[in-house]
A and B are shown apart, each in its own frame.
Chain A
Amino acid sequence: QVQLQESGPGLVEPSQTLSLTCTVSGGSIGSDTYYWSWIRQPAGKRLEWIGRIYTSGSTDYNPSLKSRVSMSVDTSKSQFSLKLSSVTAADTAVYYCARRATNSSPEDSWGQGILVTVSS
Chain B
Amino acid sequence: AQKITQTQPGMFVQEKEAVTLDCTYDTSDPSYGLFWYKQPSSGEMIFLIYQGSYDQQNATEGRYSLNFQKARKSANLVISASQLGDSAMYFCAMRGYNNAGNMLTFGGGTRLMVKP
User: Is chain B found bound to chain A in the same assembly?
Assistant: no
